[in-house]
Structures are given as C-alpha cells and as structure tokens.
A and B are shown apart, each in its own frame.
Chain A
Amino acid sequence: MLPLELRDLRFSAGGHPIIRGISARLEAGPRSIILGPNGAGKSVLMRLCHGLLRPSGGEVIWHGAKGGDPRRRQAMVFQRPVMLRRSALANVIYGLKLAGHSPQECELRAQDVLEVVGLAQQASRPARVLSGGEQQRLALARAWALGPDVLFLDEPTANLDPAVTHEIESLINMIHAAGTKIIMTTHNLGQVRRLGDEVLFIDRGLLREQSPMERFFTRPASSEAETFIRGELP
C-alpha cells in the first residue's frame, strides 16, 4: 500500500484555494504528524489522502496498492466520532460487515478489539450514551478492527481531557506497534513530541517542511515553523 505520494495536490472550495500545491512522500513505518495552525488545511489534506474529498488538481498515489482497492486498506478516526444508534459492539460489527467479513468473523473480531481498547464491559451499551473518551476509544476500535495498513486520525484528542488523551495516545502507539502506519493531524506540540516520528508542517495550504521530529523542534527549516513553535511553547 505504501509509500503514499502526493503530487502537486490542490483543493479549492467555492473559489477559495485551501490546499495550494502540496507534494510529499509518506513512507511505511514512521508515525507522521501533520502539524499546523487552525485553518492551515490539515483536515482537508487528510480527507484528500483518505479519498473523502476529490482533489481540484494533482494526484494521490498509493504506490504499494498493487491493483487492490486502496480504500479498503485504510481507515479514519474523526475529531468527533459519529456513533450509530446501536450498541458499541454493533458499531464495530457495522464496519466489519461493510468490509465483507462473515457474521461469525465480525462478532469474534469485534469482541476482540473491544477487549483490547478496554470496552468489553460496555459492549452491549448503546454507543451514543458512552462518554466522550469511551466513544473515541470505540471509534479507534471500529477503525482498527478493519486491519488497515494506514490509519488516519484527525485531531483525535482535541475534545478530550488529559487523562483520556493519554489513553488514546497509548492505543495509537499500540496500533502503530502492531504494524499500522499512523498519519495524524494535531495542533498540539506536546502531542507531536509524544507521538511523532516525522512532522509535516502545513501553513496556509502549503507544506512548509517535512522533517524528523527531533530536527523539527531543534532546527526548523522554515521561519513559519519557527514562529509556530515559539508561539505555542509556554
């Protein structure tokens, strides 16, 4: 499936350019963080990669797809998870069923992932009455159950308190350790330090730099990134 190549990617909405020509290459392995201020175009970039939006120009190329359908091998977790009006377990099964698994397989796999994210006790509870943190863990479970090669996360902890954020981050690391490529947006520098291997810094629809995490913080290549880091640190 990987590497993922973005070739002069562009997107405009209602005549306003939001992504103004981004080229990058994302390799298998490192956890890639898409960082940038609000309105930089991070979420839009991620939706273009995931195929939820159609680019106005340029291309999204999955070099390792080898004729298979790349959409089937990626999953996404949104900032505000959308839970279906059914049980937690049924929410996970829903995604598995769409992916074409048999009913028994769905049931077993769903039980498994709920166990892993610590929601086995809540399996039969309606998903919409779970707390915000539980819902986000369920969203992770639902995405991970599909066994994706690539997992996109759009500010997955933006609405959560520090303790819950820590839980979610551990789960993301566990999913990464199990071999799934992580591509995540955030505007939280602490989270970049905790979770990032490489940073793609986006500002006003342009990719300002793509650097390993350590170097991004010690020697940022662009003045925009330098300003952003200084402005954000206490």
Chain B
Amino acid sequence: MSGLGEAFAAAWALIAGVEPGLVGIVTLSLQVSLSAVLIASAIALPLGAAIAVGRFPGRQALIVLLNALMGLPPVVVGLLVYLLLSRAGPLGSLGILFTPSAMVVAQTVLVVPIIAALSRQVIEDAWREYDEQLRSLGASRPSAALTLIWDTRFSLVTIVLAGFGRAAAEVGAVMIVGGNIDGVTRVMTTAIALETSKGDLPLALGLGIVLLSLVLLLNALAALIRELATRRYG
C-alpha cells in the first residue's frame, strides 16, 4: 500500500519537475500518434463516405471486413509492418524500420479500419436522410459524399478521437516496428511496459498518468466542440 503511495508521489514529482526524459517520451508519443491519425483520417474518411453512398458488388462483404478489422490485434499489425519494412521485405529499401516513421505506418494501419468503419456508419445514416434532397438538387454521388462528410463533421471528430485513443494507447505494434530505443523510438506505452518490468514504478506510473490525462483532455475537448456546435448549428 505504502509502495503504491510512494510511487504516486514520485510520479507526481517527475511530472511536476518537468523531467526532460519524460518530456521527450511524451512529445514523441504525441508526434507519432497525431501523425498516424492525420494520415489515417485522410484515407479513412473519404473511404468511409465512398462505401456509405456507393453501390457496388461486394459492398456488404467489405463492410463486414472493415468492422472486423476494427479489432485487429496491434501485435499482428506490428508483425506485418515489420515484415514489410525489414531489409528483405518489399519496402525494405526505405530503411525506416526502427524509426518513428515505421511507428506512424503501423499505427496508421491500425487506425484506418476504425475511422473508416465508424464514419461509414455515421455517413450512411445521414445519407438516408439527405439522399432524395441531394439527388433532387442534382448532386452526383462523389459530391454527395463530400457534402455528407462536411455535414457530419461534429460526429466525425469523435470518431477521429477514438482513433487517436487507439493509436496512443497501443503497445504491441510500436514495440515491434520501433524497437523501444531510448531517445529515438521510446513512446509512453513502450516506456511504461519497460519501466514496469525493470521495477521503476514511479516513471511508469508518471507516464501512465500523463497518458490518461491527455486522452481525457482530448475527449473533453471533443465533447465541448460537439456541444457548442449542436447548439449553434442544430
């Protein structure tokens, strides 16, 4: 019990003292996960919208696949990206294995299905409401898809944040493709795993608190945006 209390106190001291090591780890985590979510959104939102308004053979199968991929285990993604990026792999010539870029790739792969599947659902629901009106005004399907992305933007923010939560919280993929190299590819989750196994609980706990606070802060922000937007735009 006292061990836990001490760990908390020490963790707090680390956070309050703005320990440079800790700051580096937090900054890298944010850089990697934000980049991944940005790239994933650029791919997944148009993809989700296209599937939502599109009519093509195999659509239902694609939706099932996408929904299933939301539960993709991070270690499996890590392994696949590792194989892709390793020296002998098809993208080995890029030479980005064990760099933050590789971690961005892995997290992007992990997050694309989540954002695509959830945005497909939201946009398809909106499409049901807008369908006749937009077609009556002469909108083509691609232009209707863009209109729907814009009109569901406040719901999509929540989805993108869910993607960020997933990216920032996973260990397996970044551990495999990043290698948890101190000062280079060590992020919050891999550091927590390592420090815990080494027995340095204050640092692990401090990072845990920072991680939780960041996710909480972002979600509070999203809720606020949504609330204000609904009040303003209906």
Binding site for B on A (CB under 8 A): 47, 50, 52, 71-72, 75-76, 78, 81-82, 84-86, 94-95, 98-99, 126-129, 142, 146
A82 pairs with B138, CB closer than 8 A: no
Assembled-state Cα–Cα distance A207/B134 (Å):
29
- Residues of B132-153 whose CB lies within 8 A of A: 132-139, 143, 147, 150-151, 153
* 12 more CB-based (< 8 A) A-B contacts, given A47-B132, A52-B132, A126-B232: A71-B138, A75-B136, A75-B137, A76-B136, A82-B130, A84-B151, A85-B150, A85-B233, A95-B138, A98-B139, A126-B233, A142-B137
Kindly provide the distance from the CB of A19 to the nearest chain B CB, expressed in whole angstroms. 17
Q: B234 touches which one: A52, A94, A126 (CB < 8 A)?
A: A126
Assembled-state Cα–Cα distance A100/B232 (Å):
30
Residues of B within 8 A of A82 (CB): 129-130, 132-134
- Residues of B117-139 whose CB lies within 8 A of A: 129-130, 132-139
Size of the B side of the interface (Cβ < 8 Å), in residues, is 18
A52 pairs with B233, CB closer than 8 A: no
Kindly provide the distance from the CB of A79 to the nearest chain B CB, expressed in whole angstroms. 11
B135 pairs with A85, CB closer than 8 A: no
A98 pairs with B132, CB closer than 8 A: no
> Quick one: given A47-B132, A52-B132, are A85 and B234 in contact (CB under 8 Å)?
yes
Q: Which of A50, A52, A98 gathers most chain B CB within 10 Å? A: A98
B135 pairs with A52, CB closer than 8 A: yes
Kindly provide the distance from the CB of B108 to the nearest chain A CB, expressed in whole angstroms. 29
Interface string of B149-192 (1 = CB under 8 A from A): 01101000000000000000000000000000000000000000
Counting from the closest, the 9 A-B pairs by CB-CB distance are A128-B234, A82-B133, A129-B234, A126-B233, A76-B136, A95-B137, A85-B151, A98-B138, A85-B233
- Residues of B28-85 whose CB lies within 8 A of A: none
Assembled-state Cα–Cα distance A84/B133 (Å):
10
A128 pairs with B138, CB closer than 8 A: no
Interface string of B177-210 (1 = CB under 8 A from A): 0000000000000000000000000000000000
Kindly provide the distance from the CB of A60 to the nearest chain B CB, expressed in whole angstroms. 15
Residues of A within 8 A of B132 (CB): 47, 52, 78, 82
Binding site for A on B (CB under 8 A): 129-130, 132-139, 143, 147, 150-151, 153, 232-234
A52 pairs with B136, CB closer than 8 A: yes
7 A-B pairs within 8 Å (CB atoms) are namely A52-B132, A52-B136, A76-B136, A84-B151, A85-B233, A95-B137, A127-B234
Assembled-state Cα–Cα distance A128/B234 (Å):
5
Assembled-state Cα–Cα distance A50/B234 (Å):
29
Assembled-state Cα–Cα distance A8/B93 (Å):
66
B233 pairs with A129, CB closer than 8 A: yes
Residues of A within 8 A of B129 (CB): 82
Assembled-state Cα–Cα distance A194/B97 (Å):
76
Residues of B within 8 A of A126 (CB): 232-234
Assembled-state Cα–Cα distance A82/B233 (Å):
14
Residues of B within 8 A of A71 (CB): 138
Q: B138 touches which one: A47, A72, A85, A127 (CB < 8 A)?
A: A72
Residues of B within 8 A of A85 (CB): 150-151, 153, 233-234
Find the A residue at minimum CB distance from B234. A128
Kindly provide the distance from the CB of B117 to the nearest chain A CB, expressed in whole angstroms. 23
B136 pairs with A50, CB closer than 8 A: yes
B143 pairs with A98, CB closer than 8 A: yes
Q: Which of B150, B153, B234 gathers most chain A CB within 10 Å? A: B234
